[in-house]
Amino acid sequence: MSPKILIVDDEPDILELVQTRLEMAGYETLVAESGEEALKCFFTERPDLAILDLEMPGMDGFELCERIRQMSDIPIIFLTAYGSENHRVQGLHVGADDYIVKPFSKNELVARVEANLRRASMPAVQRDEQIYADPVLTIDHRAHLVTVRGNEISLSPLEYRLLTALLRHPGQVLSHTQLLDLAWGPNSTETSTDSVRLYIS
């Protein structure tokens, strides 16, 4: 099923432009011309990502973003003519994930939508989170407990740090030097990447 994108703008021409380009890229789209209409659409359709204008009659984009963020952690992108630093900062403070200024590149818009959806679909692995879980692997960060398909796996502290370092960088190719810094620490006296090769193998 294609991701569902909610587009909110009080300018019909912009709505049509964005809707057409996203549908060409394979997305399902929902459109609204006001914040109030957008909230109703959000409740009934549950989109996977929202693209919001800032200046709209009635409820503006900032308030709409805050309202959506109270209910959901879907990616939110501002698409607006207001490009000042203050507007960008406020947009991020109220919960937006990205900020695009008009006039904009349609290809860049699609690329940013793809990037935000990709990040949203990745397992969230952060240092301060207590539990990581996917269909195969579970990690209790507080207890340093690792299970694979329900079976506990015994790992040394260093092996555990290597595993969590890899999970914190999904989709990235990390060099042996980067893994050395992440698992041993930048101040470690261990400088040989042979140690990394040994543990990874």
**CATH code assigned at 27:** 3.40.50.2300
Question: Tell me, what CATH number does 181's domain have?
Answer: 1.10.10.10
Q: What is the DSSP string of 121-142?
A: HS----TT-SEEE-SSEEEETT
Q: 34 and 95: one domain?
A: yes
Task: Kindly tell me if the per-residue pLDDT of 93 is higher than 60.
Answer: yes
Q: Are 35 and 61 in contact (CB under 8 A)?
A: yes
Report the percentage of the chain scoring pLDDT > 70: 87
153 forms beta bridges with: 146
N-to-C CA span, the chain: 38
* Domain-located, residue 140: yes
* Residue 178: predicted pLDDT: 80
Q: 20 and 102: one domain?
A: yes
Most trustworthy range by pLDDT among 11-15, 72-76, 188-192 = 11-15
Q: 110 and 184: one domain?
A: no
Top pLDDT among 113 and 197 is at 113
* Residue 128: predicted pLDDT: 45
* Residue 190: predicted pLDDT: 54
* Domain-located, residue 126: no
* Residue 193: predicted pLDDT: 63
Residue type at position 55 = E
Task: Give per-residue pLDDT as tens, 115-137.
Answer: 889 877 765 544 445 677 777 88
Task: Give per-residue pLDDT as tens, 5-40.
Answer: 999 999 999 999 999 999 999 999 999 999 999 999
The DSSP letter of residue 2 is: P
**Of 63, 86, 121, the domain-final residue:** 121
- Count the Cβ atoms, other than its own, within 10 Å of residue 10: 16
Q: 35 and 110: one domain?
A: yes
99 forms beta bridges with: 78
Section 100-116 average pLDDT: 92
Q: 56 and 85: one domain?
A: yes
**Of 121, 156, 175, the domain-final residue:** 121
Task: Give per-residue pLDDT as tens, 39-57.
Answer: 999 999 999 999 999 999 8
* Residue 186: predicted pLDDT: 59
Report the percentage of the chain scoring pLDDT > 90: 46
Q: How confident is the model at residue 196 (pLDDT cuts 50, 70, 90)?
A: low
Task: Tell me how many domains the chain contains.
Answer: 2
**Of 121, 155, 174, the domain-final residue:** 121
Which residues constitute the domain of residue 141? 131-200
Task: Give per-residue pLDDT as tens, 135-172.
Answer: 788 888 777 789 998 888 887 777 888 888 888 777 77
The pTM score is 0.63
